[in-house]
A and B are shown apart, each in its own frame.
Chain A
Amino acid sequence: MGIAEVSLLLLVGIVVLLAVGVPLGLASGFLGVCVAYWKFGERGFFILGQRMYDITIEHALLAVPLFIFMAMLLERSNIANDMYSALNVWLSKTRGGIAIVTAIMAIIMAAMSGIIGGEVVLLGLIALPQMLRLGYDQNLAIGTICASGSLGTMIPPSIVLIIYGVVTETSIHALFKAAIIPGLMLGGFYIIYIMVRTRLNPALAPLPQHEREVEFMDKIRALKGLLPPVMLVTAILGSIYGGITGITEAAAIGCVGTLLLIWARGEFSVQLFLESLQRTLRSTGTIIWVTFGATTLAGAYSVAGGPTFVANSILGLELPAMGVILMMMAIFLFMGALMDWVGIVLLAMPVFLPIVAKMAPAEMGLLGGIDPRHIPVWFGILFCVNMQVSFLSPPFGPAAFYLKSVAPPHIQLTDIFKGFLPFICIQLLVLAIMLMFPEITSVFLPD
């Protein structure tokens, strides 16, 4: 049996194991054991532990529990509610104002935390009831909440980019710099879409009636609610982009800042603190053990010559560079519809990235290609946009389920997915733009 058959068996194996309900990380770990045994017998098992050890002492990964901790704390405070009221004072008289408020709020929250879930749930609790009460179109309301709530992993800091950076040995700093424009572009497009759509068809977003005129001084006073989030974003992103601290330390600063804000607002309680820690521990164990399992599989598969084999067979097809990349995007979208992003990064990247790196940089994009050193960064951003789609795509788009857990009972899952359609189109549009103009990601990168 050669590496070709083994590769095929692995593909079948992972599908079967997952279908049976084996946890993703341990399923890939088990397959890693099989590959190691096939190639080297029991001697091959050494690679498993060694790969786990490398992950264990990886300092950049420490940012994952810290960002999760911060998100768990934020979820339990009223900082988000206050931000919502503040933005509302400014925009409630605008057509589609509350949807725009939701999107802006999601962008600011995305710059504080790096995970999705909490954001969608929060927006679902705060903004959805009000939009429905005012008679907003249900699809528009749902789509806005879930699409913009998913931006948490697109706009830095982002856990997806951290794990991608660790797995592919790409600078997380560079990834964070490159993700700014695509992230804001995505958020901006959502807002533009809302504005255009509600102006073309005002029935989608009725203006609030019988509300007193908001005085200018009220608007100024309302800005107070924006202060805490803006302070947190400045502290975290400022220390990262300003080169003051690394990513991990910035996450720690974010945690301390959030705790201080919560304490200053009088919301701190032992219960809140303990629950946040418990959930952080659980989520960390979940994410990191997928990483452990996948790294053992990737390790065993690499020493067995797998990635070289796959790379050679794809390069042997003599497809144009963009053809191969488009194929990979299709694979990401397909996998993303069925499985969690952590698994995709860990299983697909060790195979895909070397292939992309071997192709001619001049052929990437529409005009003039990309600096070869920036290819891993660009590919990471492409992946990140793909995962934005995966959060919304049926049948398992997690954003839909997060929203379902807090939406009024008459809103069915199918209704929710229906609301996603225009937003998925916007995401694909951004993906296409990123594919055509890789230069967008290198704007802030050093030459």
Chain B
Amino acid sequence: MEDKFTTATYMWVGGLTLGALLWFVFISPKLVPMLARTIHQKDGDEGYRVTFIDRCTLYMASILMFVVAFIVGIMFYEVVLRYVFGKPTLWVEELSRWLGGVIFLLAGIYAMQQRSHIRVVIVYDMVSRPVQRICDAFSALCILIFCYAVIVGYAKNAWTKLVTWELYGSAWNPPIPAIMKPLILVACAWLAVQTINNLIVDWNRPKETHDPTDDL
């Protein structure tokens, strides 16, 4: 597997890691207050307590939100190259597919931190707070079982793809299976941790009713 990595690969990985670190140090702290503000939060409400795990998720989101803008940028670049210069690229379609997958998987964790996953709250809003706590715990249990099952069922396949460094099999040939399959496991594990975190943070919050406009 070692010989599959060229010097250029190492430089890319090193450069991106360094970039992410610098981003975490200088930019993320400035974005976290905005990212932490949920839709449920009214003015004057101090919002949810931000724990270490929340902070990790928000730091991740502080990079991820710009990936959307980055995809817009490269796709526009591709269209211009194709129609103005007649030179389509090989990499834009696949890179956007790859990054899109990263957004899909990780955005769910941010949505979980924001408590914005679509729920039906007809019954939930009617019952008392202690009953709501039981519902929350049950809900968390379901999510944990789902995450566990995905991880258990897919670990072997994902690990094989990672160690054999399976490529996409196209002209540009990015390692989409080698990266994305393990990322599914990472996302599920992270989601499970975030779920437990939410359960603990929300346990002592007073009863609140939901407004369907929250899903906007």
Contacts and interface: CB of A to CB of B under 8 A. Distances in A.
Interface of A: 17-27, 29-30, 32-33, 36-37, 42-50, 52-53, 55-57, 59, 61-62, 65-66, 69, 117-118, 121, 244-245, 248-249, 252-253, 255-256, 273-275, 277-278, 280-286, 288-290, 292-293, 296, 338-340, 342-343, 395-396, 398, 401-402, 404-405
Given A21-B136, A69-B68, A292-B108, A275 B34 contact: yes
Contacts of A245: 79
Given A61-B100, A65-B103, A252-B76, A18 B65 contact: no
Nearest to B183: A56
B123 interface: yes
Interface residues of B, number: 71
B158 interface: yes
Nearest to B120: A18
A429 B158 CA distance: 51
Nearest to A15: B120
Nearest to A68: B68
Q: 9 nearest interchain CB pairs?
A: A45-B153, A49-B154, A285-B111, A285-B107, A23-B117, A252-B75, A21-B124, A56-B101, A289-B108
Nearest to B61: A281
Contacts of A118: 216
Nearest to A245: B79
Contacts of B96: 59, 62, 248
Given A275-B34, A285-B107, 18 more contacts: A19-B122, A22-B143, A23-B119, A24-B117, A30-B145, A32-B146, A44-B153, A49-B150, A49-B158, A53-B184, A61-B100, A65-B68, A65-B71, A65-B100, A252-B71, A253-B75, A282-B110, A286-B116
Contacts of B101: 56-57
B8 interface: no
B213 A277 contact: no
Contact of A66 (B71, B110, B143): B71
24 contacts: A19-B123, A21-B123, A21-B124, A24-B118, A25-B108, A32-B146, A45-B152, A46-B154, A48-B146, A48-B154, A50-B154, A56-B104, A56-B183, A57-B180, A62-B97, A66-B71, A121-B216, A277-B66, A281-B68, A284-B111, A285-B116, A285-B117, A286-B215, A289-B108
Contacts of B180: 53, 56-57
A51 to B, nearest CB: 10
B101 to A, nearest CB: 4
B20 interface: no
Given A59-B100, A248-B96, A280 B153 contact: no
A285 B110 contact: yes
Interface of B: 31, 34-35, 39, 61, 64-66, 68-69, 71-72, 75-76, 78-79, 83, 93, 96-98, 100-101, 103-112, 114, 116-124, 132, 135-136, 138-139, 142-143, 145-146, 149-150, 152-154, 157-158, 176-177, 180-181, 183-185, 211-213, 215-216
Nearest to A37: B149
A277 B68 contact: yes
A289 B112 CA distance: 10
B107 to A, nearest CB: 3
Contacts of B114: 282
A280 B72 CA distance: 13
Interface centre among A45, A66, A285, A340 (most CB of B within 10 A): A285
Given A23-B117, A26-B143, A286-B116, A402 B216 contact: yes
A289 B97 contact: no
Contacts of A65: 68, 71, 100, 103, 107
Given A48-B154, A281-B64, A248 B118 contact: no
A280 B213 contact: no
A278 B118 contact: no
Nearest to B112: A285
A46 B154 CA distance: 5
A278 B69 CA distance: 11
A290 B120 CA distance: 13
B23 to A, nearest CB: 14
A312 B83 CA distance: 50
A431 to B, nearest CB: 24
Contact of A57 (B39, B154, B176, B215): B176
B216 A117 contact: yes
B119 A405 contact: no
B108 A288 contact: yes
B211 A401 contact: yes
Given A48-B150, A57-B180, A253-B76, A339 B215 contact: no
Nearest to A66: B72
Contacts of B100: 59, 61-62, 65
Contact of B117 (A26, A121, A398): A26
A253 B83 CA distance: 13
A274 B34 contact: yes
B93 to A, nearest CB: 7
